[in-house]
């Protein structure tokens, strides 16, 4: 019976091993995407003055809104935008981002965006709640690379920037830039931020009055507001007036008889200024046949070497991509490993030389696997106590030589649940050892039992013989 009981427990342990551990845990900011990988297609072209990048990636349903204001019982309530994992109402925009380096940022060509992930970033498990987002940063901008709060003095940051130790960051957003044909030019250095100047949007809300600043122009759109049901059900499409700009909006009318469910975008789109306006679109993008197809362009030399990486004919560069889809934002996006770009030189992405103002898209797509990055920090990767491959990083072995994108996604998830997995392994091991012990005890008892019976029979025979002899 002990053996049978232990066997049942062991079978249960092995059958349930690995189940019930890797699952969504909102209290720890853990939500596992349904798809851990997808493919981003990229092309590049240049004419000596302008460089173009074209991106194509799959999206089941496009998100035309990022966040909105919904009227409910006399109040305007914000919905959408940042969310823990996918937004169920699709009120989080699609996005593509591209990091660019010219060889000045140490280790970027080998480890890509991993070097920008420090401890304690917003949405990471255990990160402190702060009013301002704790963003990506480069390790050399901190006195302690693993401590977000140890930022170097401004003079050191300026020295690093002059030496080229920053990442150029291009972004395209389906809601907050695409409708008016803009990208967004930024950087990653001591923080992830926008270049000098005004960005492509402002927040459409007057906090003092508790109401929007703008509404749709009824003479242009045919309405002052949308319906939240139409917005969340995708009844509003590209052919509708769905965004606010100087061409589609008028000042908000507080005296209008607003009805529950009426909805106004929480962002007002505007022209960019300064260095932040360098990245633009030749035309607004549309989602077709299950794919976004987006083109961004920029002057090869913007004249802003402290904000932008300067592209030159014959130059080589390193890129890393991020894709936001299926209404997910923050860290619930997909990233790529670093990819090389060549302008007239051999590289993974070969930019095609083009006629002035006419990008040549006749070449093949470069297919780049993007994957869920989980919560892997640079500090963890370089710590031998936490990462067995830390010695390879110390030897500057590129991550692509060691792991596939699929492996990185799975390893990252394992790290999120390391304690739970370890506990279950120990429990299973304990049950296995107890079964071995129980089996050994059972075998001893089994073999001792016949021996005992035979000894008893021999004793009885001897006693019988002795009694017979006495009678004789």
Q: Is residue 307 part of a domain?
A: yes
* Phi-psi domain of 202 (left: phi exceeds 0; alpha: psi -120 through 50; beta: other): beta
pTM: 0.86
Q: Is residue 16 part of a domain?
A: no
For residues 292 and 393, state if they share a domain.
yes
For residues 279 and 356, state if they share a domain.
yes
Q: Is residue 150 part of a domain?
A: yes
For residues 243 and 260, state if they share a domain.
yes
- Picking from 240, 270, 300, the residue at the C-terminal end of a domain is 270
For residues 293 and 375, state if they share a domain.
yes
Q: Is residue 24 part of a domain?
A: no
Give 346's contacts (C-beta < 8 A, 6+ positions apart).
none
Using alpha carbons, list the distances in angstroms from residue 169 to 193, 195, 309: 9, 9, 9
For residues 222 and 280, state if they share a domain.
no
Q: Which parts of the chain have pLDDT scores under 50? A: 1-2, 9-10, 12-18, 461-462, 470-472
Interatomic CA distance for residues 214 and 247, integer angstroms: 12
- Picking from 241, 270, 299, the residue at the C-terminal end of a domain is 270
For residues 262 and 333, state if they share a domain.
no
For residues 213 and 256, state if they share a domain.
yes
Distance of CA 404 to the CA centre of its chain: 17
Q: Is residue 367 part of a domain?
A: yes
CATH, residue 133:
2.60.40
Dihedral pair phi/psi, residue 219, rounded to 5°: -75, -20
Angle at 98 between CA 333 and CA 83, to 5 degrees: 25
For residues 442 and 403, state if they share a domain.
no
Angle at 451 between CA 450 and CA 454, to 5 degrees: 85
Our count of domains for the chain comes to 3
| Residue among 24, 16, 169 nearest 99 (CA) | 169
What's the pLDDT at 9?
47
Q: Is residue 19 part of a domain?
A: no
* Beta-bridge partners for 457: none
DSSP one-letter string for 275-329: GGGS-B-SS---EETTEEEEEEEEES--S-TTTSPPP-TT-EEEEEEEEE-TT--
For residues 306 and 391, state if they share a domain.
yes
For residues 177 and 318, state if they share a domain.
yes
CB of 322 within 8 A of CB of 372? no
For residues 39 and 110, state if they share a domain.
yes
- Picking from 395, 416, 437, the residue at the C-terminal end of a domain is 416
Structural domain for 225, as ranges: 61-92+201-270
For residues 326 and 453, state if they share a domain.
no
């Amino acid at each position: 019976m002990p053996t049978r009981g232990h066997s049942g427990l062991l079978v249960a342990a092995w059958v349930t091993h690995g189940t019930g551990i890797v699952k969504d845990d909102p209290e720890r900011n853990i939500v596992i995407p349904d798809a851990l990988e997808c493919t981003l297609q990229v092309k590049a072209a240049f004419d000596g003055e302008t460089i173009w990048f074209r991106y194509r990636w799959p999206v089941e349903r496009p998100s035309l809104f990022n966040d909105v204001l919904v009227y409910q019982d006399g109040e305007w309530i914000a919905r959408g935008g940042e969310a823990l994992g996918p937004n169920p109402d699709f009120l989080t925009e699609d996005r593509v981002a591209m990091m660019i380096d010219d060889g000045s940022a140490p280790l970027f060509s080998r480890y890509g965006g991993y070097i920008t992930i420090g401890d304690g970033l917003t949405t990471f498990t255990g990160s402190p709640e702060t009013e301002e987002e704790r963003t990506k940063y480069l390790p050399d901008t901190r006195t302690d690379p693993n401590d977000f709060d140890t930022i170097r003095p401004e003079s050191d940051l300026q020295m690093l920037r002059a030496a080229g130790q920053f990442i150029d960051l291009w972004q395209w957003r389906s809601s907050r830039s695409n409708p008016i044909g803009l990208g967004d030019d930024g950087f990653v250095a001591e923080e992830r931020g926008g270049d000098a100047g005004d960005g492509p949007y402002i927040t459409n809300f007057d906090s003092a009055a508790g109401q929007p600043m703008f509404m749709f122009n009824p003479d242009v759109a045919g309405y002052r507001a949308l319906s939240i049901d139409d917005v969340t059900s995708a009844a509003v499409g590209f052919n509708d007036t769905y965004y606010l700009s100087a061409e589609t909006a008028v000042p908000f009318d507080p005296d209008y008889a607003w009805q529950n469910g009426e909805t106004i975008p929480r962002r007002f789109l505007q022209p960019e200024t300064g260095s932040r306006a360098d990245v633009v679109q030749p035309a607004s993008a549309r989602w077709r046949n299950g794919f976004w197809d987006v083109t961004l362009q920029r002057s090869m030399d913007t004249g802003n070497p402290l904000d932008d990486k300067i592209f030159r004919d014959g130059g080589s560069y390193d890129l890393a991509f991020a894709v936001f889809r299926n209404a997910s934002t923050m860290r619930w996006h997909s990233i790529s490993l670093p990819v090389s770009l060549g302008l007239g030189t051999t590289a993974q992405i070969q930019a095609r030389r083009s006629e002035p103002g006419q990008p040549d898209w006749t070449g093949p797509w470069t297919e780049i696997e993007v994957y869920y990055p989980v919560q892997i920090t640079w500090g963890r990767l370089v710590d031998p106590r936490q990462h067995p491959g830390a010695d390879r990083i110390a030897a500057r072995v590129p991550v692509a030589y060691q792991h596939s994108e699929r492996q990185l996604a799975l390893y990252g998830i394992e790290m999120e649940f390391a304690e739970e997995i370890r506990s279950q392994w120990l429990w299973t091991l304990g049950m296995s050892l107890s079964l071995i012990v129980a089996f050994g005890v059972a075998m001893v008892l089994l073999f001792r039992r016949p021996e005992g019976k035979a000894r008893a029979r021999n004793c009885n025979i001897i006693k019988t013989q002795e009694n017979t002899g006495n009678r004789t």
